[in-house]
Structure 1
């Protein structure tokens, strides 16, 4: 099978292409391909006018990872141009090129930030995007499902929780830097329930969705499974870094007070709040279970 991976030079894309190349012919699209002379690699600016013709020759499936992340731009028009219009344009050209399957990596953020949800998110949860980025992902999802309903293109939408692993950007990178530099953290009393997904597990799940017949036109909320607190998560990061870490007790109301005073309540909620998903659909429909443990992935932090 010939697979086009957009964003192949990114954090998730680099791990995914390594996995896929054991089984498939992979066409890589990513920033580094501008300067690298690599066989089967292309650089295309993603927007409503992109020409994907050269990339789509004889392609059977597309994994669309590339996007403007919420921490990379504050311009809603630019986010919409890349994440929504650029995705629609790619999908429409995929239809014209006879591509069979389109795997779209969305975000659990289309359902909300978890703090006000009494039950774990699943594929039936009401959407409630909490940022311009999340809204753009939801708009792209809806457009793709419409295209799937009107054409022969098979669309699979994956909504992962926070993805962790060596080189992960955003909040995970901040936590790794914190644990590596500070030997004591104030999370001993934090017993929140959050779900995460290893980049290795996400790549494995994507590879399953590329081929599995039961994935056609389905949406999946995906995680490693199991709840983990910020205390447990930072302890696991410390183990991966082979560094000692002590946790001391600070009541949650102190964190919330700091969040309100500094105007960073959203960031504080991400730190000590809950965000759970029910990933059972992937297990039941695709017979998928995460093959990697958290320790497996975090053990590479020092390599």
Structure 2
């Protein structure tokens, strides 16, 4: 080989090695965002958009910050909303897994189920929120934990009995494939008779069926409707309320946001606080203080009574003094 060809070959080899070295240094580490200086990425999968789930997400971020973590420094967020589409929920979870996020936060059961399935092979920790019954949803074992929004059903039954002393039948709309709703229905049916109620239920398989189910429930002549945290039903709650208001049937919510938009009252939890509780748990995982599989899921224990005075008045319902004294006014 001539000296000229040797020098050309040597320079080409050196340039190739430099290029390869440069590519390796710019690749993000697993669970890190290279654009943000290799900061851990939290993938947030929210099943759909309504105020309760939005409050969970808001509270989750507050919980991280209150635990001493700073967004942009200690973590970045990849937030995705599935629009109540199970196929998109699966795609979101698979993308999080492919991108090797540091942690997945799943808001609502379908998102949690999809994230857990996508994360399991890579052992990515998953933390959930807004799940009523993690055991029935099969989300209580493995590298997963979170918070349950189990409804205070006995307090709700007592509230309905106080506000409607002559009521006999409570109607409930629910999604038959939603473990949270199925679990809540079972508890209503078990405990309702102790308060003098018959529980009338109508199940749906998708959101497109909910309004027709509401018409059928109204036709059954129920005395009131008690709403769950069922995402398909909550997603069209304003339209349900238009129908029930016209029929003169009061609807009880399951948390403050439902009361704000027209439900008469609720014994319910605060979803921002639920999200904060979830964020505090996630912070322990990100700090390396605990593993998800070591943290039992937590159930929020505090609840409040929310009322919408205008909605109550429109139904001709009076608020007893003892309830008015402790209740939180939720009307917009």
TM-score, length-normalised on structure 1?
A: 0.37
- Higher share of residues assigned strand: 2
TM-score, length-normalised on structure 2?
A: 0.35
Between structure 1 and structure 2, the one with the greater Rg is 2
- Higher share of residues assigned helix: 2
